[in-house]
Amino acid sequence: MNNHIADETPLPPEPKSDPEVGRITRSFSNNIFYIGIDRPEKLNGFTPEMFREMALAYTEYENKKNAFCAIVFSHGPHFTAGIDLPKIAPLMRSGNREYLHPKNLVDPLSLRGLIRTKPVICAVRGITFTYGVELMLSSDITVAADDCRFSQLEVLRGIMPTGGATIRFIERAGWGDAMKYLLTGMEFNSEQAYRMRLVQEVVNPNMVFSKAKELAENIVSAAPLAVKETIRNSRKAQELGKKAAVDEFDEVQTKLSLSNDAKEGVKSFKEKRKPRFTGN
Mind listing the pLDDT tens digit for each residue in 32-78?
A: 999 999 999 999 999 999 999 999 999 999 999 999 999 999 999 99
Is residue 211 within 8 A of residue 143, CB to CB? The reply is: yes
Please count the other Cβ atoms lying within 10 Å of the Cβ belonging to residue 124.
Answer: 29
Tell how strand 23-29 and strand 69-74 pair up: unpaired
Q: pLDDT digits over 98-153, tens only?
A: 777 778 999 999 999 899 999 999 999 999 999 999 999 999 999 999 999 999 99
Q: pLDDT digits over 249-280, tens only?
A: 999 999 999 999 999 999 999 999 999 998 88
pLDDT tops 60 at residue 93:
yes
Q: Which long-range contacts (CB under 8 A, 24 or more apart) does 161-167 make?
A: 161/130, 161/134, 162/100, 163/100, 163/109, 163/111, 163/130, 163/131, 163/134, 163/135, 163/138, 164/109, 164/110, 164/111, 164/134, 164/137, 164/138, 165/133, 165/134, 165/137
pLDDT at 3: 47
Find all residues with CB under 8 Å of 86, minimum gap 6, and list them.
none
Least confident of 22-26, 81-85, 97-101: 97-101
Domains and CATH numbers, the chain: 23-220 (3.90.226.10), 224-271 (1.10.12.10)
pLDDT tops 90 at residue 5:
no
pLDDT at 270: 94
CA distance 175 to 177: 6
Kindly report the pTM of this predicted structure.
0.93
Percent of the chain with pLDDT over 70: 98
Q: How far is CA 212 from CA 18, 120, 241, 260, 277, in A?
A: 27, 10, 30, 28, 21
Torsion of CA 151, 112, 212, 143, to 10 degrees: 20
DSSP-derived 3-state class of residue 152: coil
Is residue 135 within 8 A of residue 198, CB to CB? The reply is: no
pLDDT at 7: 76
Nearest residue to 197 (alpha-carbon basis) of 219, 216, 169 = 169
pLDDT at 2: 44
CA distance 207 to 136: 17
Per the prediction, the chain carries an average pLDDT of: 94
